[in-house]
Amino acid sequence: MTTELLDCVVIGGGPAGSTTAALVAEQGRSTLLLERDSFPRFHIGESLMPETYWTLERLGVADRVRSGCFVKKNGVQFVNHEGKESKPFYFREADDRDCAETLHVQRDEFDRMLFENAAAKGATCWDRTRVLDVKFSGEGPHTVEYRRDGGEVESVRARVVVDATGQQAMIASRMQTKKVDPDLKKAAIWGYFKNAKRNGPGEAEVTCILHTTSKQCWFWYIPLSNGTVSIGVVGDNEYLLKGRGTPAEIFAEERAQCIGLRARMEHAELVGEWHVAKEFSYKCHQVAGDGWVLVGDAYGFIDPIYSSGVFLALKSGEMAADAIVAGLKKDDVSRAQLESWTGEFNEGVVWIRKLVDAFYTHEFSFGDFMKNFPAHRNNLTDLLVGKVFDGEPGRMFTDMDPWIESLKESGDSMAMKS
């Protein structure tokens, strides 16, 4: 393939990359999708937002995903630092259609479905293929060098190169345009547990978010279909990982401070090993150039708190694919064309980021906010669903922003008095 010229080469076979490859190939464009690892492969990010439905439907895999063995996710519940549980935010409260129901997925199987779907749509899909370099050539085409299964170095030229390499962010790291979010320098420790508490047969499952007594950390609690529960703790990197013990010891210390976990993990046993990640919140300041574009986590990642990662990966892959197809059709793969979708995308992402900032405000509680502003319950549920690209997703913040500021001022006054 040394001299072959393709319309599109996508690097990375996760949700963003597979979505982009599938939608570009579906339009008859020659597309190569390259994945470093062998499918199925492990990945974190099991809890989906309901709005993933629309991209999955467009890809033609919604029914296949739903008919799999994944756990149905019906809402989100918050448990505060005193162990008090909020009323669950059930998605059907805001939308009674089938699309309001979503899933807790094992990412190895979910990602494989998307990768195989890209192949079914006409893309050439290779796993166990390591991309070694992207050689840029002005306006293009660019050359991608790779090695399959440890074999010889090969190369292919592409009119458009898509970086979907996740947090590796291959192109952005090379260009030094990736910047860690200074306000979200978080770390996470997680594992998978058997015998952790689950809802009974027929009862709705939710993603549960639980604060520790100090509110310096929070836990996610995600029941999976293989009988395990994904449980992880998130906190500031300096606090969680610096000068403490092993991941197991740190997890145990924070677990002891989480009242909401006591009954849930009373009989829980770790299956497999501990996993650790840090400083995973970042954004790349250039999303595209002539003949290349970033999608999914290669573009940026906010925070795991609302399970928005897969949703934004799918959405960015879909929007970028449309820009690529339109550009190829009119022979324009300039930076302006390939980043034309990002304005709309970023306008939606800002509402998720504002929810993240609210959660990490020490004095703030969603339960208290709902008690004072019950009219915003459906709006908050809409945001947890992922409805950030249409309607009026930000109307709640006309009350939430001043509410948070008043809480901060009260907290500052109390601190000064003490």
Among the candidates 232, 247, 278, a domain finishes at 278
Cα distance between residue 297 and residue 201, in whole Å: 35
Which residues lie across from 193 on neighbouring strands? 229, 270
DSSP letter, residue 374: G
Tokens 């898509």 found at: 162
pLDDT at 413: 52
Alpha-carbon distance of 379 to 393, in angstroms, equals 7
Total domain count, the chain: 3
What is the residue whose two structure tokens read 């980021």?
A: 353
385: in domain: yes
- What is the per-residue DSSP string for 21-79? HHHHHHTT--EEEE-SSPSS---S--BPPTTHHHHHHHHT-HHHHHTSSPEEEEEEEEE
pLDDT for 1: 45
Structure tokens at 287: 């999303």
Window from 56-60, 180-184, 187-191, 342-346 with minimum mean pLDDT:
180-184
Quick check: is 91 in a domain? no
Confidence at residue 98, expressed as pLDDT on a 0 to 100 scale? 84
In whole angstroms, what is the distance from residue 48 CA to residue 315 CA?
13
Predicted pLDDT of residue 279: 87
Angle among Cα 411, 417, 418 to the nearest 5 degrees reads 90
The burial class, CB within 10 Å (0-12 / 13-18 / 19+), for 167 is middle
The stretches of 121-190 forming alpha helices (DSSP H) are 170-175
Cβ atoms of 393 and 94 within 8 Å: the answer is: no
- 365 and 330 both lie in a single domain: no
Q: Are residues 158 and 197 in the same domain?
A: no
With respect to residue 100, please indicate whether it lies within any of the assigned structural domains.
Answer: no
Residue 53 and residue 138 in one domain: yes
Same domain for 26 and 139? yes
| Distance (Å, whole) CA 107 – CA 310 | 10
CA distance from start to end of the chain: 71
Residue 88 lies in a domain: no
Structure token digits, residue 233: 């703790």
Q: Is residue 95 part of a domain?
A: no
User: What mean pLDDT comes out for the span 365-377?
Assistant: 91
Looking at residues 45-65, what average pLDDT do you find? Answer: 96
Q: What would the pLDDT profile of 182-238 be if each residue is shown by its tens digit?
A: 999 999 999 999 999 998 877 778 999 999 999 999 999 999 999 999 999 999 999
Distance CA 271, CA 74 (A): 25
Shared domain for 123 and 207, answered yes or no, is no
**Same domain for 205 and 266?**
yes
For the chain, give the percent of residues with pLDDT over 70.
Answer: 97
CATH of the domain at 299: 3.50.50.60
- Confidence grade of residue 411 (pLDDT, cut at 50, 70, 90): low
Instruction: Say whether both 36 and 134 belong to one domain.
Output: yes
Q: Report whether pLDDT(134) > 90.
A: yes
Q: What is the pLDDT of residues 77-100, one digit of tens each?
A: 999 999 999 889 999 888 888 888
Among 340, 373, 390, residue at a domain's last position: 340
Whether residues 231 and 274 share a domain: the answer is yes
Classify residue 202: in a domain, yes or no.
yes
Chain-centroid distance, C-alpha 347: 17
Residue 68: the pLDDT is 80
pLDDT of residue 367: 85
Is pLDDT larger for residue 201 or for residue 320?
320
**Residues 63, 12, 385: CA angle, nearest 5 degrees:** 45
Burial 13-45 (b: 16+ CB within 10 A, else e): bbbbbbbbbbbbbbbebbbbbbbbbebbbebeb
Left if phi > 0, otherwise alpha if psi is -120 to 50, otherwise beta: which for 195? left
349 in Cβ contact with 312 (< 8 Å): yes
Facing residues of 130 across strands?
147
> Does the pLDDT at position 249 exceed 70?
yes
Residue 417 has pLDDT above 80, yes or no: no
Do 290 and 401 sit in the same domain of this protein?
no
Question: Does residue 246 sit in the same domain as residue 294?
Answer: no
Percent of the chain at pLDDT exceeding 90: 87
Q: Would residue 221 count as lying in a domain?
A: yes
Q: Directed axis angle between helix 15-26 and helix 309-329, to 10°?
A: 30
User: At residue 20, does pLDDT exceed 90?
Assistant: yes
Domain shared by 207 and 241, yes or no = yes
Cis peptide before 40 (omega within 30 of 0): yes
pLDDT (mean) for 335-360 = 97
Do 264 and 377 reside in the same domain of the chain? no
In a domain, 80, yes or no: no
**What pLDDT does residue 230 have?**
98
Calculate the CA dihedral of residues 130, 133, 138, 141 and round it to 10 degrees. Answer: -30
- List the domain range (segments joined by +) for residue 160: 5-70+105-180+282-340
Q: Is residue 100 a contact partner of residue 92, using CB atoms and an 8 Å limit? A: yes
- Reduced to 3 states (helix: H, G, I; strand: E, B; else coil), residue 310 is helix
User: The domain spanning residue 260 has which CATH number?
Assistant: 3.30.9.100
